[in-house]
Each structure stands twice: as C-alpha cells, then as structure tokens.
C-alpha cells in the first residue's frame, strides 16, 4: 500500500541514494510530447532539504526537460528499487534549471561528482512525495555505471560541447525554447 510523505526524511534520502538510476518526467502545458528520461551516475542526484532536491543535467541529444521547466515548471522524479525489496518513490513538484553563471551555481555544482558534460542543475521544489509497492518491477543486478557519456564529453572537449548545445539543445522536439540561444558555458566555479 502506498504512502504519502510530508518531507524527505533520512530513510527516504537513503533509499534514493541507494538507487543506481532515476527517471524524470515532464510535459508541455498543452499537447506536445510527454518526456521521460532515465538518469544514471550515482553522484548526480542530491537532497538539498526536506522538500528540495537537485540533479546534475548532462549534455544529451535533447533538452525536453529544460524546455518544459521553462514553460511550466512541472517535473516528476521517480526512483525504482531493482533489488530484493520492491519500492517505487515519486517526487512531484516545480523545477527550475540553474545555469553556469547563475547565482549559486558553484555551490550547486559542488554537490555533485565531476562530469565534463554538465550543462545545468535542475532544482526541484517537492510538493508531493509518494511511494508505491513496485511489486511488478523486475529484480536486476547492477554491473556498474556506464562511462560512455562522460568519456565522450571528455574526449570531444568544451568547444564541441558548446557547439553541440548551440545547435542541438536550443529547442525541444515540440519547438519549445530550451536553452533558447543562451548556450551554457562550460561549468566554472567548481571548488
């Protein structure tokens, strides 16, 4: 039986930290495509407080989540347990993308591991926290993180990433502005 929580306590934070991946879901205000993105790397998610979380947004083939956040702010983050104890946890709320150069960027970035393709930090103000059984989620074992994305970003370098973002991350598949011409610079300010 599912339960609704008022805040992220130590038990919920520990559950989220133990999961090797999470999913984010967003959608435009009207019509368009619903987007669900899997996120990996254990050091790309953090709890900021009892009703605030953040994740490191890495350069990828699209920018749907950023576009949806700019338009309406709605975001859901979901964690699934793939081990012996089944559980699904969803965080519903309103998010924003913090970009390099924004106030507080360096402090946010310092909460994550180093990833050469970081383009923003998504911060979620959590309005609803709910879990469910997860009885139909399969049990799987983790072989390890897949280093391909970080390796590709490191090999291609900052100039390639700037060009990629400027040409591939400007609008969503529905034509909504994502980075809207403001191409994030390489992250700076990491202590």
pLDDT digits (tens, 9 = 90+) for 52-110: 999 999 999 999 999 999 999 999 999 999 999 999 999 999 999 999 999 999 999 99
Q: Return the residue matching tokens 């368009």.
A: 32
Identify the structural domains of the chain with CATH numbers, from first to last: 3-168 (2.30.110.10)
Stretch 140-153: mean pLDDT, rounded?
95
Q: How far, in Å, CA of 13 to CA of 80, rounded?
A: 13
Q: How far, in Å, CA of 38 to CA of 129, rounded?
A: 19
Distances (CA, A) of 113 to 125, 172, 177, 186, 191: 22, 27, 28, 15, 12
Find out whether 48 and 107 touch, Cβ atoms under 8 Å. Answer: no
Q: How far, in Å, CA of 103 to CA of 85, rounded?
A: 40
3-state SS, residue 15: helix
> How many CB atoms sit inside 10 A of residue 171's CB?
17
| pLDDT greater than 90 at residue 187 | no
Torsion angle in degrees (nearest 10) through CA of 134, 45, 31, 164 = -130
pTM of the model as a whole: 0.92
Stretch 162-172: mean pLDDT, rounded?
93
pLDDT of amino acid 180: 60
| pLDDT greater than 50 at residue 184 | no
Task: Using the CB atoms, write b or e for 59-98: b if 16+ within 10 Å.
Answer: bbeebbbbbbbbbbebbbbbbbbeeeebbbbbbbbebbbb
pLDDT digits (tens, 9 = 90+) for 26-44: 999 999 999 999 999 989 9
pLDDT of amino acid 186: 44
């Amino acid at each position: 039986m599912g339960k609704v929580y008022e805040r992220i306590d130590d038990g919920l934070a520990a559950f989220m930290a133990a999961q090797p991946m999470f999913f984010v879901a967003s959608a435009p205000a009207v019509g368009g495509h619903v987007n669900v993105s899997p996120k990996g790397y254990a050091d790309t998610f953090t709890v900021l407080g009892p009703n605030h979380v953040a994740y490191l947004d890495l350069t990828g083939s699209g920018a749907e989540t950023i576009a949806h956040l700019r338009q309406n702010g709605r975001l859901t983050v979901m964690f699934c347990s793939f081990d012996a104890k089944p559980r699904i946890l969803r965080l519903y709320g309103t998010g924003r993308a913090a970009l390099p150069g924004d106030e507080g960027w360096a402090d946010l970035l310092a909460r994550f591991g180093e990833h050469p393709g970081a383009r923003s930090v998504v911060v979620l103000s959590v309005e609803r926290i709910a879990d469910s059984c997860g009885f139909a989620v399969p049990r799987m074992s983790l072989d390890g993180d897949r280093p391909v994305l970080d390796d590709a970003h490191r090999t291609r370098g900052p100039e390639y990433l700037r060009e990629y973002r400027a040409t591939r991350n400007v609008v969503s598949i529905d034509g909504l502005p994502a980075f809207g011409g403001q191409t994030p610079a390489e992250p700076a300010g990491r202590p």
